[in-house]
Amino acid sequence: MENGENEQLAEKLQTLSGTLINDGSPVAAILAAGHGKRIKSDRSKMLHEIWGVPTVLRVANAASIGLETQNQVIVVGIKAREVAEKTGKATNRLFVYQKEQKGTGDAVRVALSGLSSYQNLHDIYILPGDMGLITPEVIHQLKTEFEKSKHGMMILTGNFSGDTLENTYGRILRVPEFDAEEKPSGVDRGKVIEIKEHKDILALPDGKDYKITYNKRLYCFQKSELLKIREYNAGVYAVNYQNLSNFISCLTPDNVQGELYLTDIISIFNHNGISVGAYTVTDNSAVIGFNVKSVLREMGNIARRKVWKQLRDIIFIEDEDDFFIADEVVRQILELDLKQPPLDIEIGKGVYLGKNVQLSHGVSIRSGSTLNGNIVIGKGTLIHERVSLSTYANQVMVIGKNCIIMRGDMLKGNIRIGDNTSIESSVIVTGSDEFPTVIGNNVTIKGTTYIFGSVIEDDLFIEHSVIKCKKVERTVRKDGTIQSVRWVMPPPQGLDIISSV
């Protein structure tokens, strides 16, 4: 990156950065500098979405809730501008730039450099930006366990349930029952000694003990013994800020990867009398990170399954393996169920509901329909198969009570539809900022019809027409019926360039 680009990036990150609350509140350090070559994408790994939200933003949101503070420092590197812009500006969020990706230890060093001007920092919580399924509950529990302990650091760990030969995570080495001299370990038994990365275990010579000192006593592990350890490092840490600042410079790239491993800080702490604890999650899916597309897909499936379990006894979902309901809509449904059950909402196979969709009682959305934008659906409305409803960010679509939107219709933009209105198949309705479309109550629109920027009064019947920027008035004929609208077409244009073949 050239000097000019560096300056522009620095200015951009400064613009997107806020200021931490300097009252001793925890700080979340989110590591989002890596690109992820194995994901095989031009897009940063951190911007790949899990259930509709970039993974780095999912981690940031979970940290804010779980730690009960907005204080965050996000380390960006490859595609830094895109990652920072997508994560977005927040009042108490900082962005710092890691120029070269030299490992997690270096990323944390960069994070600490961004915090150097703050004098009242106590604890820092380090999270990888690709852990998009981590929950506020897991983070809060880690915080609770750390704060009530006397440890200077606590590691979040998982328990590998599959074949240990397939376990590529770093292993948690704990003090065994006996030391190298076969003397009982006593009160030290079970304490965390260090984390040994999988690649470094594989690089150990066969038939030779791996020796390590803890609390002035020697312990020996066989290579095969290390590989069989099921407790693994999840990559999330709670650390005393001052201790971390004091010893981060002690990290060295003395490993197979030639990187600065943050995990080495554990043995450094132990050698300096700073105890390290561990808290094991009960649900390993909360600490999955991804490097390849197949794992990303698996994480999406896990997220979908969790949503289905939340909603399965509240609304009807036709296919538990094929639907999308954004988190915001899930919360809205849960709140509605608490206030005014039953809901009688039905969601068909393959339905997509974006984050700003608002549902009401008795709404039925059939298979393959997509609703994305600021859309409010009234009670009892039926949306048939493969309907598309959408708005831009500054627009709103409101569909009244007991309406019917038929198969394959497309409605887009600023639109307001009254109650008991039926829009039958092959209809397109659009409304812009300047020319919104308003359709009244008890209206029927059918046939190959297009309506844009128009006002349609109550009780009208419109068929096979193109109506642009018009007002269609409700007119009662002498026999008491209401005048219908059919075959309204604008004058043709371009006839002079059309000829017979």
Split the chain (501 residues) into runs of 10 and give each run's mean pLDDT: 81 96 96 88 95 98 98 97 97 96 96 94 98 98 97 97 91 97 96 95 94 95 96 98 97 91 95 96 96 96 98 98 98 97 98 98 99 99 99 98 98 99 97 98 98 98 98 96 96 93 91
Say what the pTM is.
0.92
Chain centroid offset of residue 92 CA: 19
The CATH number of residue 197's host domain is 3.90.550.10
pLDDT score, position 2 = 64
Asked whether residue 436 falls in the same domain as residue 457, the answer is yes
Asked whether residue 452 falls in the same domain as residue 322, the answer is yes
Asked whether residue 367 falls in the same domain as residue 469, the answer is yes
The answer to whether residue 285 is domain-embedded is: no
**Other C-beta atoms lying within 10 Å of the C-beta of residue 489:** 9
The answer to whether residue 287 is domain-embedded is: no
Of 94, 113, 136, which residue is a domain's last?
A: 136
The answer to whether residue 19 is domain-embedded is: yes
pLDDT score, position 36 = 76
pLDDT score, position 424 = 96
What tokens does 258 get? Answer: 């030639």
Residue 346's beta-bridge partner residues? Answer: 316, 364
Asked whether residue 44 falls in the same domain as residue 189, the answer is no
Domain of residue 125, residue span: 1-136
Asked whether residue 341 falls in the same domain as residue 486, the answer is yes
The answer to whether residue 488 is domain-embedded is: yes
Listed in sequence order, the residues at least 6 apart from 295 whose beta carbon sits closer than 8 Å to its beta carbon are 288, 289
Beta strands in 79-182 (DSSP E): 93-97, 123-128, 153-159, 171-174
Of 136, 169, 187, which residue is a domain's last?
A: 136
Asked whether residue 76 falls in the same domain as residue 175, the answer is no
pLDDT score, position 1 = 56
* 135 SS3 class: coil
Of 111, 136, 161, which residue is a domain's last?
A: 136
172: left (phi > 0), else alpha (psi -120 to 50), else beta?
A: beta
Listed in sequence order, the residues at least 6 apart from 148 whose beta carbon sits closer than 8 Å to its beta carbon are none
Asked whether residue 392 falls in the same domain as residue 488, the answer is yes
The answer to whether residue 300 is domain-embedded is: no
Listed in sequence order, the residues at least 6 apart from 109 whose beta carbon sits closer than 8 Å to its beta carbon are 248, 249, 251, 260
Asked whether residue 112 falls in the same domain as residue 250, the answer is no
Q: Is the CB of residue 123 less than 8 Å from the CB of residue 239?
A: yes
What is the C-alpha to C-alpha distance for residues 265 and 106, in angstroms, rounded to an integer?
12
The CATH number of residue 487's host domain is 2.160.10.10
- CA-nearest of 48, 16, 35 to 293 is 48
What b/e string do you get for 275-286 counting C-beta neighbours within 10 Å, with b at 16 or more? ebbbbbbeebbb
Residue 427's beta-bridge partner residues? Answer: 449
pLDDT score, position 257 = 87
Listed in sequence order, the residues at least 6 apart from 400 whose beta carbon sits closer than 8 Å to its beta carbon are 378, 381, 417, 418, 419, 420, 421, 441
Q: Is the CB of residue 188 less than 8 Å from the CB of residue 175?
A: yes
The answer to whether residue 294 is domain-embedded is: no
Q: Judging by beta carbons within 10 Å of its beta carbon (0-12, 13-18, 19+), is residue 387 exposed, middle or buried? A: buried
- CA-nearest of 223, 157, 227, 217 to 185 is 217
What is the C-alpha to C-alpha distance for residues 441 and 221, in angstroms, rounded to an integer?
78
Asked whether residue 108 falls in the same domain as residue 194, the answer is no
Asked whether residue 356 falls in the same domain as residue 464, the answer is yes
Asked whether residue 71 falls in the same domain as residue 183, the answer is no
The answer to whether residue 299 is domain-embedded is: no
Q: Is the CB of residue 455 less than 8 Å from the CB of residue 438?
A: yes
Question: What is the number of structural domains in the chain?
Answer: 3
What tokens does 402 get? Answer: 């007991």
pLDDT score, position 165 = 87
* 324 SS3 class: strand
Asked whether residue 372 falls in the same domain as residue 493, the answer is yes
**What is the phi/psi pair of residue 346, to 5°?**
-125, 130
The answer to whether residue 255 is domain-embedded is: yes
What is the C-alpha to C-alpha distance for residues 215 and 272, in angstroms, rounded to an integer?
10
